[in-house]
Homo-oligomer: A and B are copies of this chain.
Amino acid sequence: MDIETFVQQSLGSWKSQRSAHHLAFSHFEEVRSTLDIMPLEISDPEVVTLCQQYGVLPKQIVSPFRMRWEGESDWDEETVLKGETVLVPVPNRDRANTGKLLRDQGYAETVAAAGDYVITEDGTFILTTAYDRAAAEEKIWFATPNLRFRVSLIKTSSGRGVTTASLSSEIRLNGPS
């Protein structure tokens, strides 16, 4: 599978049920959220800015998209988790199933970040992102066109230890059942 197909399948609105395991203190966290994934034009100003920030040319990118989320955690019920980020895939020219994923707001730290992705033979999208004080590994795959799963690991910056592991089950809203 190439990244265009993966993004295409991801477009739409999703209801997400996420469990996080904070491993050091065996804590369970439950998050319920909605997720919107919308296509963007290659000429979109936010896409262009992000490309410039990373010295990437528009002709190198495919399928840019925006992701918006809004939800609630049982860890802090007062706070609404809410955010959005622009994501820009930059496939490698020689290996179409691998590349960089640029984003204007990271997952483990809220700064711009570029991760490395690979799409495996069985259609699993694996993204590895190094931050200043942490590293993130995300695996996303579709069980059906309307159900996708995401396993995320937050690692120490050395990449050896794992501090948090989570599973998200994402069900398409308004999809055929």
Contacts and interface: CB of A to CB of B under 8 A. Distances in A.
Dominant secondary structure at the A interface:
strand
A153 interface: yes
Nearest to A20: B19
A79 interface: no
A17 B28 CA distance: 8
A82 to B, nearest CB: 20
A161 interface: yes
Interface residues of A, number: 26
Nearest to A30: B28
Across the A-B interface, the 10 shortest Cβ-Cβ residue pairs: A19-B19, A167-B167, A21-B169, A28-B30, A165-B169, A17-B21, A143-B162, A17-B26, A147-B162, A23-B169
